[in-house]
Structure 1
Amino acid sequence: MSDSIQIKVADSHLYPGCAVRIAHLPEPARGAAAIVEFADGSGARATCNLRAHDELELTVDGYATQKRHPVDARHWLLLAVDATHNSWRVKRRLP
């Protein structure tokens, strides 16, 4: 997955309000493979879809934190924080 989107999370897991950095975005209405890097050094595979200009759906596979706490696969809605679309915040968990 060398062409995967790199997503950096400011914590060991995602939750509403969590800060996220994304270097470049997927094409609108297309799923893109992603690698999520968490602040504790753990990581997970994911898929992201740009829903609107400032909304991104992120589906993260299950993973384990560095302290070996399992985290189930989850689906999230992220909102852009700035006009460059490099900074995002998790708005809420999606069903």
Structure 2
Amino acid sequence: MSDSIQIQVADSHLYPGCAVSIAHLPEPARAAAAIVEFADGSGAHATCHRRAPDELELNVDGYATQRRHPVDARHWLLLAVDATHNSWRVKRRLP
């Protein structure tokens, strides 16, 4: 894992239906380090990899929101919203 992928989240935490923006995707079938930036200014480290052209797995480390609410580490499935693969939505939480 070399360069970090920048991920912008439209809220202070991830949940099904949440909008996510990703400027540059990881290469298929290769894990990449990511920095997740939440709308409230908080952030977390993560690892992501593409399962399919329109599917992305995201493992987010635990973090605290700006209001100091702790959020546990979680594993998510994201689906592409458009053909550019810049806009994504959280589909569901993975085990």
Q: TM-score range by the shorter chain?
A: over 0.9
Q: What CA distance in whole angstroms lies between the structure 1 residues aligned with 2:74 and 2:3? A: 22
Structure 1 gaps of 5+ residues are none
Moved over 3 A (4+): none
Mean CA deviation greater in 18-27 or 2-11: 2-11
1:2 Cα shift?
8.0
Q: CA RMSD in A?
A: 1.2
How many Å apart are 1:15 and its aligned residue? 0.0
- 2:44 aligned counterpart, secondary structure: strand
TM-score, length basis structure 2: 0.98
Asked if structure 1 preserves the Cα contact closer than 8 Å seen for 2:2 and 2:33, the reply is no
Instruction: Give secondary structure in 2 for the equivalent of 1:40.
Output: coil
**Could you tell me which residue of structure 2 aligns to residue 28 of structure 1?**
28
Tell me the distance in 2 between the aligned counterparts of 1:90 and 1:70. 20
Verify the 8 A CA contact 2:3 2:32 in the aligned structure 1: no
Q: What's the TM-score once normalised by structure 1's chain length?
A: 0.98
Q: The residue matched to 1:25 in structure 2 has which SS?
A: coil
